[in-house]
Structure 1
Amino acid sequence: MQELTQDRAPVLEALERMKRARLVPFDVPGHKRGRGNPELRDFLGAACLDVDVNSMKMLDNLCHPVSVIRDAEALAADAFHAAHAFFMVGGTTSAVQAMVLTAVHRGDKIIMPRNVHRSAINALILCGAIPVYVNPQMDKTLGISLGMKVEEVADAIRRHPDAKAVLVNNPTYYGICSDLRAIVKLAHAHGMLVLADEAHGTHFYFHKDLPVSAMDAGADMAAISMHKSGGSLTQSSLLLCGPGVHAGYVHQIINITQTTSGSYLLMSSLDISRRNLALHGEEIFSKVLDLVAYAREEINAIGGYYAYGRELIDGDAIYDFDTTKLSIFTRPIGLAGIEVYDLLRDEYDIQTEFGDIANLLAYVSVGDRPKDIERLVAALAEIRRNYSKPQAKMLKAEYIDPEVVCGPQEAFYATKEPLPIEKTAGRVSSEFVMCYPPGIPILAPGERITDEILTYIRYAKKKGCQMTGTEDMTLRTLNVMK
């Protein structure tokens, strides 16, 4: 048997052995290596459909891995400095939910920032745990949520010593990092688990000039979006566990919601991408850091825009900054981030990650080239020249402190009624309202609806943000608790 080293890719190797065996498929999927669906084969390619296969002995089984998937997960754990790693084929949403469902049960409390991804609050709907929010500080100029202050986490622990876990974003969508090591030390001293939503922090494990990773900071679990900065296929992620977490129980939790038909396209992409990062990660992310530094300098030279970076660090709410993030403040040119986002896509054929009411995020990875950065910079300069306007009528982005009336599960499953959105002030929401991306709720189930929240929703909708989470997709009505 070959030694397990980081230059191996066990799932890939097993798929190659399967192809050489020339098996006759009397199993699912029904396209039978693409023969049954020529149009799909022509679009995706025969090589893709050849390995879109079902679990079998030589390929192992994601629900109960005993061979090649087990080996691939062991290599992932080693690469990411974890005691155990799980391949997730439902995206980081499924990893975050498995993490939360492992840590808390019905009625338990979990301390978390209010700017969590919807997946974390959805997990609370599933398990019935109660959120204790550490309301993030806001940068009043940029209008972005910052990290969790250690003293505010300490205060939440003092007020809720019976909480079971603390969840931390590492980093936020914009690149802001909390003092994760201090939060871990504090939580562990009070017997609480630390969970990290590391959807945007895959690269932290592979370069010395980036913020500390969750596993290196001593967190108990971390959800990793390999498909974002790690290069794997969309919807493929990892769930990492530290030595103090019972991996067998975590696996049981994962199997409650994860598919029994794990995609070998996604699993092989995790395996190949892990190998690539383990062998070449530092070189890869050095190039990304150089690209973003160049882009930041060129964008700031345009005037009006502000591409921010490590100068924001204050050692507290902004303990560190992910310098691979090309986050751009657009309000000085009189345009919301979502308006610049739309112009880039519609007029310049440039697709950025997202825009909010004050910022734009351009996601830069190893797949980008200097000429791509130059095209983006040129387009931003032209937008400033041709579309800028006074910012007097722009809504100032501020954090809206939610009033939590009841837990998300109680509100979501409560008897509810739809009301015209303009008549909902004072009522308790039984559903989400959020801009996607990034998928951080403006309003979550169990929170009181206020005039301030309604003003923000109307403004975001008017500026072109994609509003999601509601049963009424037009957002003319909102479901509230009766």
Structure 2
Amino acid sequence: MKRLDQTMTPLFTALKDYHSKNVIPFDVPGHKHGVGLRELADFIGDRVLEVDVNSMKCLDNLSNPIGVIAEAEELAADAYWADYAYFMVNGTTAAVQAMIMSVCEPGDKIILPRNAHKSATSAIILSGAIPVYIQPEINEELGIAMGVSIQEIERAIGKHPDAKAIFLINPTYYGAISDLAGIVKIAHRNGIAVLVDEAHGAHMHFHPELPESAMSVGADMAAVSMHKTGGSLTQSSVLLVRDGIVDAKQVRTTINLTQTTSASYLLMTSLDVARKQLATNGQEMIENVLTLVRDARDKINKIDGLYAFGKELIDTPGVYDFDETKLGINVRKLGLTGYEVYDILRDEYNIQMELGDNYNVLAIVSLGDTKENLDKLVDALYDISIKHRRDEEIKLKKSILKNPDLIVAPRDAFYSTKHSILLEDAVGEISGESVMVYPLGIPIIVPGEKITKDIVEYIKFLKEEEVVLQGTQDPYVDYINVLGIE
């Protein structure tokens, strides 16, 4: 098959041509090339606002692309070995929702791990699908969920052969990879579509030493956060589709149900340019990323009390492969929680990590990182290991990441009559809303699930650690909505 010329940037080129013509704007947006919003223009630069424009003939329209946007999407599909690519400007959340809503009708079953992002839960509510949750493997020493096993997938299909789709994560937030190729074969043998949340894997397709991407192993759809590790602007994403089980035309129709009709050309052109960079120079750039992260991981592992986990986890439960660009660091032997180290790094060393949890902090190492900055992280961690170490290490607690009982379908629970009660009084009740930690965005409880004592205690612990919690109507999560009339 002849590949397309990946040096081309049709949308970006068209936008530059539009800008060069100095068109007089009597259309939206109302700031009119930044003239009407000088304070922002003075801070971020005139050109940014000069190219913040609306859809027009020369720039195509994302809702029905037949020009330069269509050409840019075709190049993206070619770069990722997909049949179709759709630009998304509502984030990968919208892409995940479009995947599930394209395949699942009300009442259809979808198999997915319990550590799926909240966007999958939202899509289940929107589509009316019935979730069949499977248990990801848990690394109790690290206190985190890994991938799912082939055996768990086979058991789920055996119990639910009528499932329409399997939803998987490739990779997990911490870099764990399931045997995606094996799962695709099993699913397709049973006529089940494979939908992949590849939010943290935009880069993997472009280097041979990284795990395989969803499209390269034959998955039916993949939601790819180009902005996370692919270099595009925040909120820009790509939804990749393979012809066959999935109807690509239906996917486009589904996207248009929820995606804005006023798509940002800043976001779309960043996708165009980021795709070109990955396709033409990605291997070299990612080679540099791997060199940096491997060096940092080696140095961190020489610091007493720290463990930067990596490819040695391969062949442990739930880890078929591992994305080395995820620099997860276990800190519990310092006597500190990951939440504490996260705050110390930010407050005392001006270093922003991606997240902290009970036992770990996570750094995402990607195209824009430098040796200087990684050395600063290593030096800060060494400093923390001396200045902040406590005598007693954090004791391991058995993970509570076991599936709560689903009593009511999420869509039905979401639309049911609810009332608010104190969190500590909610044990045994059916939740009417989600509770999740952010970042991660993985729900602790979702609508329709039974609230247990362990879940209440875990949420209270997170509040004590001043972790950012989301999902409840009460911003402080002192109260939670449960099903039923008060």
TM-score normalised by L of structure 2: 0.97
Q: For each residue in 1:374-421, what CA deviation from the matched residue of structure 2 results, as whole angstroms up to 9, or x when unmatched?
A: 110111111111112223566454423311112111111110010000
Write the mapping of 1:201-212 to structure 2, written as runs, cut at 5 A: 201-212=201-212
Q: Following the alignment from structure 2 to structure 1, what is the Cα–Cα distance between the partners of residues 206 and 386?
A: 39
Is the counterpart of residue 461 in structure 1 residue 460 in structure 2? no
Which is further off, 194-203 or 316-325?
316-325
The answer (yes or no) to whether the contact 1:326–1:361 under 8 Å persists in 2 is yes
Aligned-pair CA distance for 1:20: 2.2
Aligned-pair CA distance for 1:16: 1.3
Partner residue in 1 for 2:319: 318
Q: Following the alignment from structure 1 to structure 2, what is the Cα–Cα distance between the partners of residues 295 and 193?
A: 39
Q: Matched residue of 1:181: which SS?
A: helix
Aligned-pair CA distance for 1:276: 0.5
Aligned-pair CA distance for 1:17: 1.4
Partner residue in 2 for 1:278: 279
Q: Matched residue of 2:78: which SS?
A: helix
Picking from 387, 390, 414, the partner of 1:412 is 414
Q: For each residue in 1:41-70, what CA deviation from the matched residue of structure 2 results, as whole angstroms up to 9, or x when unmatched?
A: 111211101110000000000000001000
Is the counterpart of residue 336 in structure 1 residue 337 in structure 2? yes
Aligned-pair CA distance for 1:21: 2.1
Partner residue in 2 for 1:224: 224
Q: Following the alignment from structure 1 to structure 2, what is the Cα–Cα distance between the partners of residues 432 and 102?
A: 23
Aligned-pair CA distance for 1:315: 6.5
The answer (yes or no) to whether the contact 2:207–2:283 under 8 Å persists in 1 is yes
Q: Matched residue of 2:197: which SS?
A: strand
Partner residue in 1 for 2:119: 119
The percent of aligned pairs where both chains have the same amino acid is 53
Q: Following the alignment from structure 1 to structure 2, what is the Cα–Cα distance between the partners of residues 447 and 388?
A: 39
Partner residue in 2 for 1:297: 298
Which is further off, 414-423 or 362-371?
362-371
Q: For each residue in 1:113-153, what CA deviation from the matched residue of structure 2 results, as whole angstroms up to 9, or x when unmatched?
A: 00000000000111110100111121110011011110110
Which is further off, 470-479 or 384-393?
384-393
Aligned-pair CA distance for 1:358: 1.3
Write the mapping of 1:47-196 to structure 2, written as runs, cut at 5 A: 47-196=47-196
What CA RMSD, in Å, does the superposition of the two structures yield over aligned residues? 1.2
The answer (yes or no) to whether the contact 1:334–1:394 under 8 Å persists in 2 is no
The answer (yes or no) to whether the contact 2:175–2:322 under 8 Å persists in 1 is yes
Partner residue in 2 for 1:268: 269
The answer (yes or no) to whether the contact 2:422–2:478 under 8 Å persists in 1 is yes
Is the counterpart of residue 346 in structure 1 residue 350 in structure 2? no
The answer (yes or no) to whether the contact 2:94–2:259 under 8 Å persists in 1 is yes
The answer (yes or no) to whether the contact 2:296–2:374 under 8 Å persists in 1 is yes
Q: For each residue in 1:355-382, what CA deviation from the matched residue of structure 2 results, as whole angstroms up to 9, or x when unmatched?
A: 1111110111121111111110111111
Residues 315 and 450 of structure 1, relative CA distance in 2, 3 Å threshold: closer
5+ long unaligned stretches in structure 2: none
The answer (yes or no) to whether the contact 1:150–1:316 under 8 Å persists in 2 is no
Partner residue in 2 for 1:401: 403
Q: Structure 1: which amino acid aligns with 2:307?
A: Y
Q: Following the alignment from structure 1 to structure 2, what is the Cα–Cα distance between the partners of residues 363 and 208?
A: 19
The answer (yes or no) to whether the contact 2:211–2:322 under 8 Å persists in 1 is yes
Partner residue in 2 for 1:33: 33
Q: Structure 2: which amino acid aligns with 1:226?
A: M
Partner residue in 1 for 2:256: 255
Aligned length: 480
Aligned-pair CA distance for 1:341: 0.5
Q: Structure 2: which amino acid aligns with 1:50?
A: E
Runs of 4+ in 1 over 6 A off after TM superposition: none
Q: Matched residue of 2:301: which SS?
A: helix
Q: Matched residue of 1:377: which SS?
A: helix
Which is further off, 408-417 or 263-272?
408-417
Q: Following the alignment from structure 1 to structure 2, what is the Cα–Cα distance between the partners of residues 123 and 180?
A: 22
Q: Structure 2: which amino acid aligns with 1:78?
A: D
